[in-house]
């Protein structure tokens, strides 16, 4: 059977992330700017008559539970497929093949990006209105609506209230992602947030990541990654993404980015990419 479609599920970066308050529903109001890399996981879909299944390969396949398609809490790709099928009244199914290139629980929105890629693939495969994917995305996770677009946007509220963000001045900029191979639970990091509102997000360049201290308290290795990136020649901006533990550095040119990538300590994961 030929591949019906293939999608990159791009790595997500939070160029800045300000936490404003805890909401009555237990989530947090944030202000963030999402950017996306040209690289990430890869998802393929093969048409089936009525059911869904997934297989996972790649360097981080062992860290991801593919789940049982008939379970009440399936893998997020399968959950996205089920919910889109119900919302659109579609009768088709699909077999997914996921190449897991991004670390799990790493602040790169990997699961959200994979779910978003599934929504895009099935929208094309079934020939349905993209509005159905947009309608189910928020319930899958706060990052999924942004990942569905995979374009620069500002996120407010829990992160799923989106508005355009002009990042044309850094589009195509070389970027280096580094993770100390420590998975972090988003819920645990938010639970460690000190509750202090440090003010709204204006220019993301002058912003910060309010979850950094909480993440470092759980994974002190993040501090070492940030310090190491900050010492690399040509690094123009160094921050942690999301709830960690992945950190990133933007570079003006590809050559110093590649030199830094070659020097990353062997015990850390890294990916050299570009901003979309």
- For 18, half-sphere exposure in the C-beta direction (CA atoms, 13 angstrom radius) is 17
- Per-10-residue mean pLDDT of the chain, 276 residues long, equals 80 98 94 98 93 96 69 77 96 95 97 98 96 97 97 97 97 98 96 97 97 98 98 97 98 98 98 98
* pLDDT value, residue 134: 97
* pLDDT value, residue 56: 96
Which residues participate in catalysis according to the annotation?
12, 143
How many distinct helices (H) and strands (E) make up the chain?
A: 8, 10
Domains of the chain: 5-163 (3.30.230.10), 174-274 (3.30.70.890)
pLDDT digits (tens, 9 = 90+) for 51-82: 999 999 999 999 986 655 444 456 899 999 99
* pLDDT value, residue 72: 46
* pLDDT value, residue 64: 82
CB burial of 78-98 (b: ≥16 within 10 Å; e: otherwise) equals: bbbbebbbebbebebbbbbbb
How open is the CA angle 68-9-100, to the nearest 5 degrees?
55
* pLDDT value, residue 160: 94
Instruction: Look up the pTM and report it.
Output: 0.94
Alpha carbons 252 and 233: distance in angstroms, whole number? 10
* pLDDT value, residue 66: 61
């Amino acid at each position: 059977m030929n591949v019906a479609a293939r999608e990159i599920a791009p790595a997500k970066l939070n160029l800045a992330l300000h936490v404003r308050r805890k909401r009555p529903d237990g989530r947090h109001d944030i202000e963030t700017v999402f950017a996306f890399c040209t690289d990430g996981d890869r998802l393929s879909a093969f048409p089936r008559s009525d059911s869904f299944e997934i297989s996972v390969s790649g360097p981080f396949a062992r860290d991801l539970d593919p789940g049982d398609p008939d379970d009440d809490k399936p893998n997020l790709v399968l959950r996205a497929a089920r919910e889109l099928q119900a919302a659109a009244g579609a009768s088709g199914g699909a077999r997914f093949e996921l190449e897991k290139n991004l670390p799990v629980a790493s602040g790169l929105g990997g699961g959200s990006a994979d779910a978003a890629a599934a929504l895009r693939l099935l929208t094309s495969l079934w020939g349905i209105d993209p509005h159905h994917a947009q309608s189910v995305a928020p319930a899958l996770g706060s990052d999924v609506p942004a990942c569905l677009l995979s374009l620069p946007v500002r996120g407010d509220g829990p992160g799923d209230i989106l508005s355009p963000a002009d990042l044309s001045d850094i589009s195509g900029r070389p970027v280096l992602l580094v993770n100390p191979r420590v998975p972090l639970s988003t819920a645990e990091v938010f639970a460690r947030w000190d509750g202090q509102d440090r003010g709204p997000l204006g220019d993301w360049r002058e912003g910060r990541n309010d979850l950094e201290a909480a993440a470092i308290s759980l994974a002190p290795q993040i501090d070492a990654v940030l310090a190491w990136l900050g010492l690399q020649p040509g690094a123009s901006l160094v921050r942690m993404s999301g709830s960690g533990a992945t950190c990133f550095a933007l570079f003006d040119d590809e050559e110093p980015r590649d030199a830094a990538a070659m020097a990353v300590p062997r015990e850390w994961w890294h990916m050299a990419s570009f901003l979309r």
